[in-house]
Structure 1
Amino acid sequence: MSGPPPQAWLNALLVLIEKCQLGLLWLWHALGLTGTSHGQPAWPWARRIAGETLLIDLALARQVGLSLCALAFAVLAVAFAIAWRRGRPMLLAAAMLALLLAPWPQASLLLGPASPTSFHASPTRFAVDAIALGQRVYTQHCAACHGHDGRGEGPLAGSLPQWPPTLASPLLARRADGELFWHVLSGMQDRRGQQTMPAFRGELRDREAWAVIDYMKALSAANSADGNWPVPLRLPEMAIRCGDASPVALSHWRGEQRVRLVAVDGSAASLPYEDPRFVTVLVTPDGRAPAQVPRFRAGCTATSTQAWQAMAAIAGLPPAQLAGTQLLSDRAGWLRARGTPGSAWSDADLVCVSGPAAATRAMPAGIDGLTALLLRMDAEPVRFVKGGFIH
């Protein structure tokens, strides 16, 4: 009998480490031992456990996992020893032996640099308005160095002491949002103290800094080299109106139903049919619902005028060429596939693959491409942790 795949136990370890550090941060803040930074509790230490290091060093991750198991065993043994007097010497000896035999990792390998905002959560919820704002900020302040496509080949890149990193890589996803936010406002320096990225603290408000991070995520997906997004993306948040009902947030369906976004030009002939396997949401250039929706056609529409621009940014298309493009999410709200106009769904449309064995997974014979795609999405959930992820 084989054990769980590496993705499962490693993801569980990363989640545990993140929750423990967040719990410690909130405890420190509740006790008044740390203040706030940009409206959220500030991480008070210069180091943190680096989940991104554990992601690429499985041997170190196993050391951490085994050491945590030994620590948990020791705590339980001490608890039982307190309650059971006769077995106390044996239990205390077992606890000490477990701690002595644990493969404790070196602190220099386990810990990485931290900033006061390392564990900050973005308040934007990856909303379409934030993506559109981030695109304007990026064009004005970032494209000259990072390039309009995010590949680090802007017109000023060659004049910098260090070439800007490409955003179309897993590098962006392996940095916590809070640390990206800190670097946008405070800049970056190399090991010699030489500035490699200017600080924008005096030029950008907090809202603009968070928004440009959202746009960088969309840009990373849009310009991925092999079609598999290096950064897992949530469905962008937007208000949805279905018929005459009051608008609801798109996240209303998260955890319950898949969602399909379809860019339409507004004519009734271009409206897709409803499909009970997912909620279909129309995205139009002006945020208005079609004047007439024929029977059995999708009638839920994104009301934001920024939804078209944000969807184009994620799809990597000029807004004028977006019509007919589709984005499909799983039940957890992760965008998983991108459909092109006039083409049937197939495995080639997957943009978020969550395991090396995905390509060889067998599917039942005789089913259509869309059904096979949905089954594969359900069977291969996205596992994601800030500062380190399995994708």
Structure 2
Amino acid sequence: MVPRRRHRGAEAGGGLRPRRADRAGPGARGSLDLRLTAPPEDRVWARHRRRRGAVLIVGAGAVGGFLAEELARIGFSPLRLVDPDTLAVENLIRHPLGAPALGQPKALALAGQIRRDFPSCDATGHHADFLALTAEQQQSLVGGANVVVAATDSAVCQRHVNRVALAVGRPAAYPAVWVDPRIRDAEVGEILWVLPGRRTPCYECAVAFRQGTADTQAARGARVDIQLVALATAQVVTALAHPGDDRSAILDPRRTAIYLHGLTPTSPGVRATFPTAGLSSQNVRVPFPSTPCAACHGWRHVASSPASAGAGAGGRPGEEEGQGRCWPVFAAVVLCIVVLFIVSVAHGRHM
């Protein structure tokens, strides 16, 4: 048998003869015509309108890292990441950064990865402790964001971010993962969100309500669980950044804490708090404290009126406080009228 003659391109490792449709058009000899493969914008960024806005993420660890990537996919830009830590070996199983980033600052490496993967996103990393920044730097970062996210493992830092966000007037979200201290596994995901102007309880208002949380970095084998919390937080951030959007309906100003349960086999203590089987979520009401909060100055009497309960859906900051102060004045006026009436009746009897 005489072997069939192969095309010269096959002898050079090129395989099959190039089809006529694959050849370059006029004036582009030797290269593919990329005009035939360039998809329209709606195919690049899906067919739904992208959400935009600036987000500050304090804490580029497990939760903050996955959250930053998801926000970049949604369309948020710019993203500002603040974290003082470097990527360690024990972080690899639950962090979006891989082994090539070992020893690098988390915030800088993550911002660089986001810029490479999502060129339309302006991501900037700050290798710094938020608490160590000057007050002007903190207010500048918070003021330049539409939404602030505090995803650190430090309760002190979380409270400080809460105070700065309240002072500047920015909505904020505080994602966390409950960890059983005996098994060090993620048990429950928690997302607390706050509107400024005492429209909702703040992070410090919820201190007595919340259970103690441990460092999410110490939760072994919890990468999938942490990603679920990050995805849910991305939806909360989207709703906070676009209050007029349809997705904002997921936020109820009367229930400002979201809990995700069933992440891993739960311990008896957590099972008693969340008696359910399988993955579930709960929107829970966080009450204002009985005494004025040191951070937002909100308290139960200010927030208990129906007007303040609905202020989160468009009410003006501080409006609920003015209406809350009317009740003591009204009560004092009624008391004075009653006292005067009693005095006049008693005086008439003596006459």
Common topology (TM > 0.5): no
Relative CO higher for 1 or 2, CA cutoff 8 Å, sep ≥ 6?
A: 1
So what's the TM-score if we normalise by structure 2?
Answer: 0.25
Q: Rg: which structure is higher?
A: 2
